[in-house]
Amino acid sequence: MIYAANFKMNHTRASTARYIETLEKRLCEAQWEERVLLFPPATALQASSGHITVGAQNAYMAQKGAYTGEIGLQQLEEFGIETILIGHSERRQLLAEEQEFVSRKFAWYKEADFTIVYCIGEPIEVRESGEEAVAEYLWEQFDGIDIDYEKLIVAYEPIWAIGTGRSATVEEIRATHDELRRRISAPLLYGGSVKRENIASISAIENVDGVLVGSASLDAEEFFAMMIEGR
């Protein structure tokens, strides 16, 4: 299993450092062997150490340059960051990142040899149209994406389940992950209201190789307790 925490626009540099210290202590005590990824805000990036790999929630597809408000490879390299989230629905929706833009960013960070957690997910009206519509929508989000990239991790995150407290059902997750597995051999994460109460049933699904967690990852002890439940 892969356990990934997406802080979004939460935590500061100081609180992220405290979080990592607390979580790392627990992981050491538990002799943890599974993969743990942490995506703090850009201001809280720090070098990976111990069991926790720190990644970027976003970066622009350039080494450096005139891209006001963005960070690029130069800033990531300072911390040895080699992992990035691309295609999160909040960036697609709130920041209007189109598939063409997302795929260029993917290609650029692939060229830079990054581990890419590539996010896909359908809105509620597509889910309500049935499995076939969901599959069609999700495959379109792979336009321009190299699904055979060896450092690819796919995160399936139904938009209607993100931050709503309403996770997809075990059956919905199973059906969608089975569909994705037809063509994708990369690890498949599920994300969307994963919490302590549902992680065991989600992680038990055959083609679920990990989880991407937002809200329930914000407290280190809670996230660790959740990871224990998911093992």
For the annotated catalytic residues, the residue numbers are 88, 157
Q: Is 6 in the site for ligand PEP (CB under 6 A)?
A: yes
Stretch that binds ligand PEP, among 20-28, 97-105, 144-152, 156-164 (CB under 6 A): 156-164
- Least distance CB 8 / ligand PEP (angstroms): 7
* Smallest distance, ligand PEP to C-beta of residue 5, A: 9
Q: Is 58 in the site for ligand PEP (CB under 6 A)?
A: no
Residue 62 or 228 having the CB closest to ligand PEP: 228
Q: Binding ligand PEP by CB under 6 A: which of 191, 198, 199, 220?
A: 191
Closest to ligand PEP by CB, 157 vs 179, is 157
* Cα atoms in the Cβ-side hemisphere of radius 13 Å centred on 92: 20
* Cα–Cα dist 171/149, whole Å: 28
Q: Coil, helix or strand for 24? A: helix
Is 163 a binding residue for ligand PEP by CB under 6 A? The answer is yes
Residue 71 contacts residue 59 (beta carbons within 8 Å): yes
Q: For residues 211 and 156, give the distance between their C-alpha atoms in angstroms, rounded to a whole number.
A: 9
162 contributes a contact to ligand PEP by CB under 6 A: yes
Distant-in-sequence, close-in-space partners of 77: CB < 8 Å, separation ≥ 6: none
What minimum distance in Å lies between the beta carbon of 179 and ligand PEP? 20
> Which residues lie closer than 8 Å to 176 by C-beta, 6 or more apart?
131, 134, 135, 138, 156, 158, 168
Enumerate binding residues for ligand PEP (CB under 6 A).
6, 157, 162-163, 191-194, 212-216
